């Protein structure tokens, strides 16, 4: 016959968390099995008088107060949460709340954690609004975030620009080259000048002398891109402006940034026409180095273009693109896929895009797994900009293109990959990652309580509940 006792699951779990113990460690202290601790915490077994005595002896607690609590703290937290205005139209009975807490304590804790995260975000949003200001020129909000949202909502694919660019690319091919087309069609002579003569510019259109001036510090792929972008401004302004207008941006900075981004999209489409590029990526199994040489563009430009190949009937692998500096600041993010990257804050240090600076110009691949089980394949490398002559400081940044793991077998990079069966466990960002044993964590996740280290100091920077 089972010994008499009381059901104190939530209170027992709370005690264990406060002590910073795992179920196995508490079981060892109480000289019972860890499975029995789990059953008691789940209110599937009662806490007997003998177990209460062992708790009192092991942890120096007043078990009368412990037994009397009976989950009241968790019930009180649930009652406070359901008074939130967002739930004002839902009626909860006190018995319903108690039933949830005592019968499904883990579910109750999950709800409270989500509510805590929701409230923290609400407070952060209110704080941002309180401290934001609207400049006299009418700009407001975050223009970079507005443009990123605009591109992400359209999966970084603009069929009107691709169609116009493809026609323009054919005309350039018939003429012979970009410089020749600019001369024949627009009467513009292309000249390369020293950086000191360019006075801080890499490209400048001089209508008076009918010249397109390019900095000698640019390599050939960058020169090609600047010529293509200028050509987009000259011949595709109507299509570019129509795409930008569709964004309905509410400030001038966002409109200008979007215009530049869309012109860059058009330039890439001119250099890498959709049909021929989409065919080449399959033939070359997405080998970025080979593709960049084939189309006379840079590694980064090729990686950009991979995120745009979503034409109906001619879709290719949906990629996500990110560009970071050595400090982890994100300077560019393009989402043709569905990688859930954090909108704010730093990324996960376990993702090797943050480590490619140790191996410049070397392609580094990695299998990734998010806490929810989603798996991705990452291709990362450093890219070089600036410099070009003595005295000009070069800049290295890391870029990565990422796709869902289900597409990886179509990539040349995944063949015989040693990590295929053991992906690196990463989080979107520390604030959103609940991997409790991560030793690389820089801050606690939202909605989690930090345990005291009076009885136990974990290897990870913070201690949390294991449930």
**Span 412-439, pLDDT tens digits:** 999 888 877 789 999 888 877 878 788 8
C-alpha distances out from residue 349 to 199, 384, 404, 413, Å? 38, 22, 20, 22
- What is the pLDDT, as a whole number, of residue 284? 97
Report the share of the chain in percent with pLDDT over 70. 87
User: How confident is the model over 217-242, as a mean pLDDT?
Assistant: 95
- What is the pLDDT, as a whole number, of residue 228? 97
How many beta carbons lie within 10 A of that of residue 365, not counting itself? 18
Contact 202, 218 (CB under 8 A): yes
52 or 341, higher pLDDT: 52
Distance of alpha carbon 440 from alpha carbon 209, whole angstroms: 57
- What is the pLDDT, as a whole number, of residue 458? 81
> Is residue 124 very low, low, confident or very high in pLDDT (cuts 50, 70, 90)?
low
User: How confident is the model over 272-285, as a mean pLDDT?
Assistant: 97
Q: Is the pLDDT of residue 272 over 90?
A: yes
* 145-184 residue pLDDT tens: 889 888 888 888 999 999 999 999 999 999 999 999 999 9
- What is the pLDDT, as a whole number, of residue 134? 47
Report the share of the chain in percent with pLDDT over 90. 45
> Is residue 288 very low, low, confident or very high in pLDDT (cuts 50, 70, 90)?
very high
Residue 390: which of 203, 201, 195 has the closest Cα?
A: 195
Helix (H, G, I), strand (E, B) or coil at 415: coil
CA atoms within 13 Å, Cβ hemisphere of 404: 10
Distance of alpha carbon 212 from alpha carbon 386, whole angstroms: 20
Q: What is the dihedral of CA 251, 253, 254, 258, to 10 degrees?
A: 140
Q: Is the pLDDT of residue 186 over 70?
A: yes
Least confident of 206-220, 270-284, 323-337, 411-425: 323-337
Q: Is the pLDDT of residue 132 over 60?
A: no
Distance of alpha carbon 24 from alpha carbon 33, whole angstroms: 8
- What is the pLDDT, as a whole number, of residue 391? 66
User: How confident is the model over 101-121, as a mean pLDDT?
Assistant: 77
Least confident of 50-54, 334-338, 417-421, 423-427: 334-338
Q: Is the pLDDT of residue 36 over 90?
A: yes
């Amino acid at each position: 016959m089972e010994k008499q006792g009381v059901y104190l699951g939530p209170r027992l779990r709370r005690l264990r968390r406060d002590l910073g113990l795992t179920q196995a460690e508490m079981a060892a202290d109480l000289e019972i099995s860890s499975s029995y601790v789990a059953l008691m915490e789940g209110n599937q077994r009662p806490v007997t008088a003998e177990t209460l005595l062992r708790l009192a002896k092991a942890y120096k607690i007043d078990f009368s107060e412990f037994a009397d609590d009976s989950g009241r703290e968790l019930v009180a937290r649930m009652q406070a949460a359901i008074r939130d205005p967002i739930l004002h139209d839902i009626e909860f009975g006190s018995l319903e709340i108690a039933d949830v807490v005592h019968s499904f304590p883990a579910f109750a804790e999950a709800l409270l954690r989500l509510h805590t995260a929701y409230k923290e975000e609400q407070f952060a949003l209110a704080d941002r609004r309180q401290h934001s200001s609207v400049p006299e020129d009418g700009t407001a909000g975050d223009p970079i975030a507005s443009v990123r949202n605009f591109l992400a909502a359209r999966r970084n694919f603009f069929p009107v620009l691709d169609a116009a660019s493809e026609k323009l690319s054919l005309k350039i091919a018939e003429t012979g080259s970009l410089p020749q087309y600019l001369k024949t069609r627009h009467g513009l002579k292309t000249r390369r000048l020293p950086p000191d003569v360019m006075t801080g510019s890499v490209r400048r259109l001089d209508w008076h002398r009918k010249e397109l001036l390019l900095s000698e510090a640019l390599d050939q792929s960058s020169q090609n891109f600047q010529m293509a972008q200028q050509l987009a401004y000259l011949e595709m302004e109507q299509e570019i402006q129509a795409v930008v207008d569709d964004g309905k941006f509410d400030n001038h900075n966002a409109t200008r940034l979007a215009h530049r981004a869309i012109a860059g999209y058009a330039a890439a489409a001119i250099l890498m026409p959709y049909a021929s590029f989409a065919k080449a990526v399959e033939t070359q199994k997405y080998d970025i180095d080979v593709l960049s040489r084939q189309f006379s563009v840079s590694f980064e430009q090729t990686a950009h273009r991979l995120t745009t190949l979503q034409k109906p009937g001619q879709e290719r692998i949906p990629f996500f693109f990110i560009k970071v500096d050595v400090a982890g600041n994100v300077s560019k993010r393009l989402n043709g896929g569905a990688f859930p990257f954090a909108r704010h804050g730093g990324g996960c240090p376990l993702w090797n895009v943050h480590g490619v600076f140790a191996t410049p110009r070397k392609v580094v691949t990695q299998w990734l797994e998010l806490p929810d089980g989603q798996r991705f394949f990452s291709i990362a490398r450093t890219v070089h900009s600036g410099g070009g002559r003595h005295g000009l400081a070069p800049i290295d940044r890391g870029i990565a293109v990422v796709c869902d793991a289900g597409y990886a077998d179509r990539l040349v990079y995944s063949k015989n990959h040693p990590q295929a069966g053991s992906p690196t466990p990463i989080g979107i960002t520390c604030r959103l990652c609940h991997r409790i044993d991560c030793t690389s964590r820089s801050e606690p996740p939202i909605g989690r309580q930090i345990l005291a280290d009076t009885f136990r100091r974990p290897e990870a920077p913070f201690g949390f509940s294991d449930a």
